[in-house]
Amino acid sequence: MRVLLVEDNAALAAKVRAALIEARFVVDHAADGEEALFLGETEPYDVVVLDLGLPRLDGLSVLHRWRAAARTMPVLVLTARGAWTEKVEGLNAGADDYMAKPFAIGELVARLQALIRRARGVARPEISLGHGGEVTLDTVAATVNLEGTPVRLTGLEFRLLAYMAQCGARPVSRTELTEHLYDQDFDRDSNTIEVVVGRIRRKLGAGLIETERGLGYRIALPVGKAGPST
């Protein structure tokens, strides 16, 4: 999952970024409102953390302009402690959740994961995959089991599997995967989508990810289910 972190306080941004990477997010960081506006308008983020007090363009204006441009990604706003008017303004501007500073970073991560699940219509963090339901993916604990046995995936492998799992039965193109799995600076050459899919198939079974000619990939779901098992 790819997150845009908009925060001008460098120390706080570094702490949040580290926690998000630990939770297997891909993180792009913007330190002012204009950069945030541009990135949010042009890149497909799964969720955004938006500080309201920002240089160059304030966070509320950024959010208003994203929503006016029909950018619908879930947005969690960071407000100053006790500033209840900021919460109201943020929610009115189209925010999906808010947290007041200072906040516990673990709670921020949990709320972002919940926002992503809600946006994709997946209610619980555990998802069963494979035609026999043999693979279990826990999006909160960031673990994967094959027939009850834990399997170690790299961060990139996990992100690809988790993204596909939340897309359900629809095919997902390589372009879409690329946009959601890598940050701007990632060296993509040795980690192309095809290579990552091949590694996942070796670890979790060749049938788990099916190739749809001309469309991309489709995740195998338990037989008889149209969407991810939740």
Interaction site with Ca ion (CB under 5 A):
8, 51, 53
Question: How are strands ordered across the β-sheet holding 143-146?
Answer: 126-129, 135-138, 143-146, 149-150
Distances (CA, A) of 187 to 95, 150, 181, 183, 193: 33, 28, 12, 9, 12
Residue 5 or 172 with smaller CB distance to Ca ion: 5
Report the nearest approach of Ca ion to the CB of residue 74 (Å): 20
Partners of 98 in the β-ladder: 77
Give min distance, CB of 4 to Ca ion, in A.
15
Q: Which residue is nearest to Ca ion (CB)?
A: 53
Min. distance of Cβ 98 from Ca ion in angstroms?
14
Residue closer to Ca ion by CB (options 8, 43) is 8
- Burial (CB count <10 Å: 0-12, 13-18, 19+), residue 107: exposed
* Rounded distance between C-alpha atoms, residue 31 and residue 49, angstroms: 12
For residues 48 and 162, which CB has a smaller minimum distance to Ca ion in the complex? 48
Tell the smallest beta-carbon distance from residue 87 to Ca ion (Å): 15
HSE-up (13 A, CA, CB side) for residue 215: 12
Q: Nearer to Ca ion by C-beta: 8 or 210? A: 8
